[in-house]
Structure 1
């Protein structure tokens, strides 16, 4: 839980030149309040979809002005971590909300729109407990050999297999996850992670390149090995940049394209 004491706006850092003299490093007060709110979100004080205390209550808790709290909340809302609702308060953003439901799903049909097409049909090929390889361990910031959940699934549109995904999750955070659970949950996968495991993905880094599939991948996507596919490697993070999912996906782009709106 965040401390109720007033955060200090001044911290000392060692002189970069190595002189041994400490130099002050200033952090705006609202940024420190933002950090305290993030700490409470990360540790589950307020769950996804729940209302957080009012600006007045938070100002009293942290012993700062309401304006300082408001500026911190404004930034968190701009980052889609909190959502303001007129007359109702400020809520923890959740992937169950339609406006954030598809933040990381950007495949768009060439004709029509994603809303008309409807959600993808999911086929879970496997979901098992395994040991982290060196590459997976590095990405998820765990030790090589630590337990991870490894899943593979196909996403289809109109019965056509379009996306092949391999997913790795930290074993401790997602203990007990099964293929049946992934298959039966009808909403967004990230909403299931929130509801069942208390893990909210808040941002992701992605690497995109064009590749040719191997024999197994081509068979699963019903294409030839000479068909170019879009490879998307995603590392998704929860609060405070803690990595919680590594996902490697292959996209068919004969009827869909990968869409990213920049602002």
Structure 2
């Protein structure tokens, strides 16, 4: 099973940069998109439709402010939209597809980079989502969360970590939150199961210098319940596939989706 996750920063612009031609060539079983900024009916039209996939979308109340989508070759048993708290559901920040024994979610956090109010919303979301993840660990099924967390976890996930540690995305409370997810809650970072290499970034500031010097951070993840750890076969970030400010995260699992 191959899962591709990508924050598109608006699917219309990403499509103009060739996203859907690239996706059609990737042989993915599941595609999770974040920050689509369109309505569900719009996403069902060209150029966003991909033949051979079931397609689901949870749009924001104001479509230009978020939204997430899942494309899957296997029809799911159920689709769940939202997390049950206002900051998630108003902005269309979570959609989940349920299959036999495993659920796959597409997740979008507030970036926290648009001023104090946005940062406070991010911290509130993180707190609410931690409670949600804790409850999910008690269920008798496995979960894969594919999302743009807008937080880098470790120093090797940031190019110039000393310069970034007081900026949203690598602040102490954000790193402590990541420690909680991958520590006390027991979730697994799929990429770090495969490699401990540095320079594995998924987001870059929108400037030519940031691009040329690779001044990036790893904001995008696939993280999973520990029962799936041994099924992670490969994980990588294709750096030549750039359709937004983010890079895709591609993970192969030794798992076959069934219903």
Q: Which has the higher strand share?
A: 1
- Larger Rg belongs to: 1
Please give the TM-score of this superposition, normalised by the length of structure 1.
0.26
